[in-house]
Structures are given as C-alpha cells and as structure tokens.
Structure 1
Amino acid sequence: MKLYGEVTSGLGKAAFFLSQDFYVDNFIKKCGFKPYPGTLNVIISEEHLDQINEVKNSCENIIKPEEGFGAVKYIDATLNDKVNGAIVFPAKTEHTENYLEFIAEKKLRDELNLKDGDIVSLEF
C-alpha cells in the first residue's frame, strides 16, 4: 500500500520514548536500525482511515512496554521510495487517527530538507 500525506509538527514527546533503552534495543533487534529520537508526523487523508486501521489492528509486530510505558505496534515502511524505516502505532497517543508516525535512523527533516506542509509518500 502506498499513501501520500502532509508533513506536520508533532507534540515533541516521541524523543523521550525513543530514547528509552528497551524501545531502542527492540527496534534495533526487530527493525535493524537504531531510531533517531523523534518521529516524522504525516497526516493522511481520512479516506484511508479504514485501510490504516485494518493494518494497525492486524499488525502482530509489537514491542511490549516496561512498566509505566505503552506498547508499540510497528510495520516496516519506506518514505519517498528511498528511506527505510517503520510506521509506529503507539498504544498511548494523543494524535488523531489520521496521523502516522514514521521512524528512521536519521533526522528526516534535516536529511530530506522537509518542512510542515510538504507532501511525502509512505509505502508499506
């Protein structure tokens, strides 16, 4: 599945969670990379919500939390046909359903010169 969406600023909370050793260690083990401590937030069209929810609900890739933290589901994904990473679905989130959070090894806003409002593709 390939979707297009708009880059938007997040809440700034992902950096804390992606700095926790158990999340980092699990992403290294399961995805093959150490994630940059932050996510690229992409707003997708609401017409794709049923498809996204189906993917999220059927996803069996999960990082179980330590006490006080939430579980995270993830699927391998590619941004703009060139950056490998993963879309994460945190069990605890303040984002609405049409926000997708993409993680990768590098800070993508700098690496790809992205700013709010830019259109990107996500394939998974």
Structure 2
Amino acid sequence: MKLNGEVTTGLGKAAFFLSQDFYVNNFIKNCGFKPYPGTLNIIVPEEYLDQINEVKDSCENIIKPDEGFGAVKYIKAVLNDDVEGAIVFPAKTEHTENYLEFIAEKKLRDELNLEDGDIVSIEF
C-alpha cells in the first residue's frame, strides 16, 4: 500500500517513549535500526482509513511493554521511496485515527528539510 499524507506537528510525547530501552531494543532487533527519539506525524486522507485500520488490526508485530507502558504494533515502511523505517501504532495514543506515526533512525524533519504542510509518501 502506498499513500500520500501531510506532515504535521505531534504532541511531543514520543521522545520519552522511544528512549525506553525495551522499545529501542525491540526496534533494533526487529526493524534493524535504533529509532530517533521522536516520530514524524503524518495526516492521511480519510479515504485510506479502512485500509490502514485493516493493516493495524491484522498486524502481528507487537512490542509488549514493561509495566506502566502500552503495547506498540509496528509495520516496516518506506518514506518518500528512500527512507526505511516503520509506522507505529501505539495502544495508548491521543491522536485521531487519521494520524500515522513514522519512526526512522534520523530526525526526518532535519534530514529531509520537512515542515508542517509538506506532502510525503509512505509505502508499507
């Protein structure tokens, strides 16, 4: 599946979670990279929500957390046909369902010179 979405500012909470060893170690083991402590937040058109929810619901890649943290489903993905990473689906989130959170090894806003409103493509 490939879709376009709009970069937007997140809530700023991912940095804390992506610095927890059990999450980091699982992403290194299962995705092959140490994630930058933060996500690139992307708003996707509502027309894709049924397909995205189907992917999320059938996803078997899950990180079971330490006590007090939520589980995270993830699926490997590619941003702009170039950047390998993953889309994460946290069990506990405050985002609406049309937000995707993309993780990668580097801070993508800096690496790709991205700003709110920029359009990116995601393939998973």
Contiguous gaps of at least 5 residues in structure 1: none
Q: Which amino acid aligns with 1:26?
A: N
Distance 1:64 1:34 in 2: 17
Which residue number corresponds to residue 104 of structure 2? 104
Measured on the aligned residues, the alpha-carbon RMSD in Å equals: 0.3
Instruction: Tell me the alpha carbon deviations over residues 93-117 of structure 1, each in whole angstroms, 9 at most, x when there is no partner.
Output: 0000000000000000000000000
Which residue number corresponds to residue 46 of structure 2? 46
Identity %: 87
Which residue number corresponds to residue 18 of structure 2? 18
**Helix, strand or coil at the partner of 2:43:** strand
Distance 2:105 2:37 in 1: 9
**Could you tell me the TM-score, scaled by structure 2's length?**
1.00
Aligned residue runs from structure 1 range 68-107, under 5 A: 68-107=68-107
Which residue number corresponds to residue 33 of structure 2? 33
Distance 2:123 2:7 in 1: 15
Aligned residues, how many? Answer: 124
Q: Which amino acid aligns with 1:55?
A: V
**Runs (4+) off by over 2 Å:** none
**Helix, strand or coil at the partner of 2:49:** helix
**Helix, strand or coil at the partner of 1:30:** helix
**Helix, strand or coil at the partner of 1:106:** coil
